[in-house]
Amino acid sequence: MRTATPVNDPGLRLINAPASLWRGTVNDSRDVWESRELLRAFTARELRARYKGSTLGWAWALVRPLVMLLVYGLAVGVFLGAGRQTPQFMIFIYCGLLAWTLFSTIVTGAIGSVVANGALLSRASFPRLLLPLSVLAAALVDFLLQASVLLVAYAVFQDLPTLSALLWLPPALLLLVVFALAVGLFFSAVNVYVRDVGFLVDIGLTVGFWLTPVLYSYGQVVQGAKDFGVAGEVATGLYMLNPMANVVFGFHNALWPAVETAEARAFAFPGQLELRLAVFTVASLLLLWLAARVFVRLSANFGQEV
């Protein structure tokens, strides 16, 4: 007669068991690393599904930022006259659009990644972190395609960023990815239980876009704040607590060739940006760790909730 295996057998492992908030980071990281081939498969599936059945295919990755560039370039650059004041204005705003598009794509994609794969969650066991991570990987592929537009712009203006300027891109991109993934992980887990989260985040992204210097410069923020005296100085300090504002400044320093000219001094951020990027990256890494722990803890019931 076969004897039943006791539930406390050390050889057994409970799949998707509730995880401690403060422990298990190493184990979760190891599980993701061991499932890296599955992550590649999820990423490829994400990319195929994004453009499945479309005539333009991968070209759609370029359409949205180019349309936004055209609309904002006309509205802000031509109708409001900002293009006459800002050197290489179209490159200036495209650098901001490039950063913001990547951020919003990661956040919105990650939030819907768990709910969209509800059928898969009930049929297979795998690290649930792979779902938002695959969205991140696919967004980075789109980012590379969108960044190629700058090569055309450089050819038109016959100007290139220097190699030393390009060194600003890795720390700015790192901060963007870490912060976006932290936001996406947290809200993707909460969205499984409270579906209103997606709508609230959409509103937050709309507000965040206008609180980020995509269509205007830091100099314009400071100039506008002067009219409010001390209150304006406080508001400017609070404004600079936005990690994405610092990311966009980093993109400007790296990819906007005119940033090193005398004309652009009124538009570029004059402070110690390298220190700010480092501080925000460390803070975002802490947020990412906390968001990952919340995600893993809540993931135990994803299959039942979706």
State pTM to two decimals. Answer: 0.87
- The residue-averaged pLDDT of 243-272 equals 87
Residue 33 to residues 11, 39, 257, Cα–Cα distance (Å): 22, 9, 38
Indicate whether 54 pLDDT > 70.
no
Q: What is the pLDDT of residue 2?
A: 43
State the CB neighbour count (10 A cutoff) for residue 202. Answer: 13
First to last CA, the chain: 40
Percent of the chain surpassing pLDDT 90: 44
Indicate whether 182 pLDDT > 90.
yes
Provide the token pair at 167.
């060194």
What is the number of structural domains in the chain?
1
Q: What is the pLDDT of residue 292?
A: 93
Residue type (1 letter), 277: L
Tell me, yes or no, whether 24 lies in a domain: no
Tell me, yes or no, whether 14 lies in a domain: no
Sign of torsion over alpha carbons 273, 155, 90, 60: negative
Q: Which range scores top for mean pLDDT: 50-64, 231-245, 253-267?
A: 231-245
Tell me, yes or no, whether 76 lies in a domain: yes
Q: Where are the alpha helices (DSSP H) in the chain?
A: 25-34, 36-51, 60-72, 82-85, 89-116, 118-123, 130-147, 149-157, 163-166, 169-193, 197-210, 218-225, 229-239, 243-255, 273-298, 302-305
Measured between alpha carbons, how far is 221 from 210 in angstroms, rounded to an integer? 12
Place 22 in a pLDDT band, splitting at 50, 70 and 90: low
Tell me, yes or no, whether 5 lies in a domain: no
Tell me, yes or no, whether 25 lies in a domain: no
Tell me, yes or no, whether 19 lies in a domain: no
- The residue-averaged pLDDT of 60-79 equals 82
Give the DSSP per-residue string, 183-251: HHHHHHHHHHH-TTHHHHHHHHHHHHHHTSTTSS-HHHHHHHHGGGHHHHHHHHHHHTT-HHHHHHHHH
Tell me, yes or no, whether 20 lies in a domain: no
Tell me, yes or no, whether 42 lies in a domain: no
Indicate whether 17 pLDDT > 70.
no
Summary mean pLDDT of the chain = 85
Long-range contact list for 18-22, CB < 8 A, 24+ apart? 18/297, 18/300, 19/293, 19/296, 19/297, 19/300, 20/297, 21/293, 21/294, 21/297, 22/293
Indicate whether 84 pLDDT > 90.
no
- The residue-averaged pLDDT of 279-289 equals 96
Domain enclosing residue 244, as ranges: 56-305
Q: Could you tell me if 110 and 136 are in contact, meaning their C-beta atoms sit under 8 angstroms apart?
A: yes
Q: What is the pLDDT of residue 266?
A: 72
Q: Could you tell me if 234 and 77 are in contact, meaning their C-beta atoms sit under 8 angstroms apart?
A: no
Long-range contact list for 66-73, CB < 8 A, 24+ apart? 66/149, 68/97, 68/101, 69/93, 69/94, 69/97, 72/97, 72/214, 72/215
Q: What is the pLDDT of residue 85?
A: 80
